[in-house]
Amino acid sequence: MGTPLPLGWKPLNIDHYDGFSDLDEHIYAYVTQMNLYTNDDALMCRVFPTSLKCPALTWYTQLPIGSIDNFETLMRRFIAQYVTSRPHHITSTTLANLRQGENKSLRKFMERFANVFIQIHNLNLEVTLHSMLMALKPGPFINSLCR
Work out the percent of the chain whose per-residue pLDDT is above 90.
34
User: Does the pLDDT value for residue 35 go beyond 70?
Assistant: yes
Predicted pLDDT of residue 86: 64
Mean pLDDT of 115-138: 85
Distance CA 58, CA 54 (A): 6
- The torsion region of residue 30 among left (phi > 0), alpha (psi -120 to 50) and beta comes to alpha
Look up residue 83 and give its amino acid. V
Q: Using only C-alpha atoms, what is the Rg of the chain?
A: 23
Mean pLDDT of 94-104: 85
Predicted pLDDT of residue 32: 94
Distance CA 136, CA 100 (A): 5
Domain borders along the chain are 23-85, 92-146
Reported pTM: 0.60
CA 94 to chain centre: 18
Predicted pLDDT of residue 61: 92
The pLDDT tens digits of the residues spanning 18-32 come to 888 888 899 999 999
What are the C-alpha distances in Å from 123 to residues 113, 117, 119?
13, 8, 9
The count of residues in the chain is 147
User: Does the pLDDT value for residue 87 go beyond 70?
Assistant: no
